[in-house]
Structure 1
Amino acid sequence: MYVIVVYDVDVKRVARVHRFLRTHLHWRQNSVFEGEVSRAQLYEIKRTLEDIVENGDSVLIYELPDGRFNLHVIGVDKSPAGEII
């Protein structure tokens, strides 16, 4: 399953969330990660993020089960798709 994770967490937890997500997904740009994961990996990502985030933090996980989506970049593409796939 392809997922996109977007987060807005307190500055005290930004580095921890970033380091964790980098072990499972590709860093797209500030506070945005994406990539292909198994159901077990997605469960681990959700479980770990639930342990990290606190009141006032926000994490959005977009699940794209068939892996098909269109990406439109406006401005600078900091992580071209060729580096991901």
Structure 2
Amino acid sequence: MYVIIVYDVNVARVNKVKSFLRKYLHWVQNSVFEGELTKSELEIVKDTIFTIINKDEDSVIIYQFPKNYMPKREILGIEKNPIDDII
């Protein structure tokens, strides 16, 4: 499935979340990752993020799209990290 993950976490945990998500997804811009995950990978991502964040302070939103679905992207301004050349 295709997922987009956005997060707003305390500065003390930002690098931990970012470093972990880079193992599974493409960094799009500050606090935004996207890409393909299997169901089991998604569960690993959710479980690990839950151990990193403080559920009383932090917020993580995961958008899930059906398999083979690629949402349309429109970028206004500069693109922070182009993913066009990723295979």
Please state which band the TM-score falls in when normalised by the shorter chain: over 0.9
Matched, 1:76 2:82: no
Per the normalisation by structure 2, the TM-score is 0.91
Q: Which is richer in helix?
A: 1
Q: CA deviation at 1:56?
A: 1.3
Matched, 1:62 2:68: no
Equivalences, count: 85
C-alpha distance in 1 between matches for 2:85 and 2:65: 20
Gaps of 5+ in 1: none
C-alpha distance in 1 between matches for 2:29 and 2:42: 20
Retained in 2: the 8 A contact 1:6–1:32? yes
Retained in 1: the 8 A contact 2:13–2:52? yes
Per the normalisation by structure 1, the TM-score is 0.92
Gaps of 5+ in 2: none
- Percent of residue pairs bearing the same amino acid type: 48
Alignment of 1:1-85 (within 5 A): 1-54=1-54, 55-66=56-67, 67-85=69-87
Instruction: Tell me which moved more, 45-54 or 75-84.
Output: 75-84
